[in-house]
Chains A and B, each alone.
Chain A
Amino acid sequence: DSGVTQTPKHLITATGQRVTLRCSPRSGDLSVYWYQQSLDQGLQFLIQYYNGEERAKGNILERFSAQQFPDLHSELNLSSLELGDSALYFCASSVDVYREQYFGPGTRLTVT
């Protein structure tokens, strides 16, 4: 158990809908990262937050947004969902931007 929690574990929704994925980092970790993992694209970095502020952006679509709250938990919002958004979404956290990341168990999103 890495100490990073993600909810929900599974999510099934229809095209065009909007969903919110939640992540709680390890106690004491200030940095949160979001990744998308699909079979054909591998592990794609989406976005990073550090102590509430956006720090780095990767291949995140405009339909996706995220934030980190004062209690350091983070949410990833996915809207106007398409079939191609079906994937595993991982959250990771680290103490600071120089240290190793610890990954959560992931949320499996299925868009039908």
Chain B
Amino acid sequence: GNSVTQMEGPVTLSEEAFLTINCTYTATGYPSLFWYVQYPGEGLQLLLKATKADDKGSNKGFEATYRKETTSFHLEKGSVQVSDSAVYFCALNTGNQFYFGTGTSLTVIP
């Protein structure tokens, strides 16, 4: 079946550190892939997306590349800030249904 697996958290980094949050997926066909971010007390916000293989989504310094050969969509940021502290969700859309990962909590300390 279709599913998304993302790395377990919580992740704690110092400000300006490099961030990687791993996400792999299982899906039939050609799904679209997304990263969402949830700040404390708020709903999920779309962070970036990629709709086909080799597409790179980017926003606010975050990037993720749709890798069909490794069925992955890892989230990266070169230099994290305290304001990036949030929960990050990887998701895929097969056209029939959306599937979300379990979320990875990130805390950035000054």
* Interface positions of A (Cβ within 8 A of B): 2, 4, 33, 42-43, 45, 48, 56, 58, 90, 92, 97-106
Contacts and interface: CB of A to CB of B under 8 A. Distances in A.
A104 B42 CA distance: 9
Contacts, number: 48
Contacts of A43: 44, 89, 100, 102-103
Contacts of A48: 97
Interface of B: 32, 34, 36, 42-46, 49, 89, 93, 95-100, 102-103
A92 B96 CA distance: 15
Contact of A98 (B32, B89, B102): B32
Nearest to A92: B44
A43 B103 CA distance: 8
Given A42-B103, A43-B89, A43-B103, A101 B98 contact: yes
Contacts of A104: 43
Nearest to B102: A42
Contacts of A100: 32, 34, 46, 49, 93
B43 A90 contact: yes
A4 B46 CA distance: 13
